[in-house]
Chain A
Amino acid sequence: MTETYEQLLENNKEKIYRICKIYAAPPLEPQDLFQEVIFAIWKSLPTFKGNSIVDTWIYRITLNICLRSKQKSDKTYNKTLQLESIQFIPVEVPIENNQQEKYNALTSCISQLNNENKSIIILYLEEVKYKKIAEITGLTKNHIAIKMKRIKNILLDCITNKI
């Protein structure tokens, strides 16, 4: 089980963190959410029967944890325990202003969407097919297609105004 879990984390940690960054809001940091997600994955691993593809399962857990965290107010949220075995090491990357600007505009526009639309567009950007998005969100494939048209218009308008 340890090897499976290790492989799972190695293959998915970046994508989990990408999603956590979108949903994290004070008092929660993306790192806190990330810890909650990987804890939830660890807890769910024994019950994962392989009926769904690993990716779908990971996305479902990640989005559930992230959405649940949004419902918790400052007053009711108890910070998760800090896990010493996870380190977030700052990396110095050459800053391409144009790329950074685009990324900031994109995340800012995604943040303005409602939770359901936010989940859908994140999965789309992660290159998840409509059929899988439907499985993860519990909506139908047709419903996803209709929603995507609207979300794309909203997002495109927003990004165009920001760049």
Chain B
Amino acid sequence: MWNSEQKNIWQDIKDTWNEQPQSEKINIQVSQLINEFKSKVSQFEKDSINSDIATLKLNWAKTKRNNVSQFEKDSIKKDLNIISEFIKKVINRFKR
């Protein structure tokens, strides 16, 4: 259970957050802003999509590199050898 001292501390923290010193005033000309959005939307989105694709590529490459261990690589190699041998045997049988 929370005592009143803890409640006061958290209220103080909340006040610190909500009354944080404002270093900048934000002025927005909304009608102009909407025109800007409309005129720049295609380039804006293109940049954003390109950026997303680049991020995905980078992360995918990292994931692939990190997730395939040497053990898995060796295991896949072994499996491929077994499959190749099996196919060779089957082909040889057909040849007879």
The interface size of chain B toward A, counting residues with CB under 8 Å, comes to: 38
B28 pairs with A81, CB closer than 8 A? no
Chain A residues near B17: list those with CB within 8 A: 18, 103, 106, 125-126
Taking a contact as CB atoms closer than 8 A, the residue among B16, B22, B27, B51 that contacts A102 in the complex is B16
The reply to whether B24 and A89 form a contact with Cβ atoms under 8 Å apart is: yes
Pick the residue among B9, B18, B33 that contacts A86 (CB under 8 A).
B33
CB-based nearest A residue for B30: A6
Binds B, one of A54-62, A92-100, A131-139: A92-100
Closest chain A CB from B75 CB (angstroms): 32
B78 within 8 A of A: no
Contacts of B24 in A (CB 8 A): 17, 88-91
Contact A78 B28, beta carbon cutoff 8 Å: no
CB–CB B31/A2 < 8 A: yes
Whether B44 and A5, one on each chain, are in contact in the complex, defined by CB atoms closer than 8 angstroms, is no
Residues of B within 8 A of A87 (CB): 26-28
Question: Restricting to B18-51, which residues have a CB under 8 Å from any CB of A?
Answer: 18-37, 40, 43-44, 47-48, 50-51
Residues of A within 8 A of B51 (CB): 72, 76-78
A75 touches B58 (CB 8 A): yes
Are the CB atoms of A85 and B33 closer together than 8 Å? yes
The CA-CA distance from A162 to B23 in the complex, in Å, is 22
Q: Is B13 an interface residue (CB 8 A)?
A: yes
B16, B23, B24, B25: most-surrounded residue (chain A CB, <10 A): B16
Q: Would A42 and B58 be within 8 Å (CB), given that A81-B44, A156-B9 are in contact?
A: no
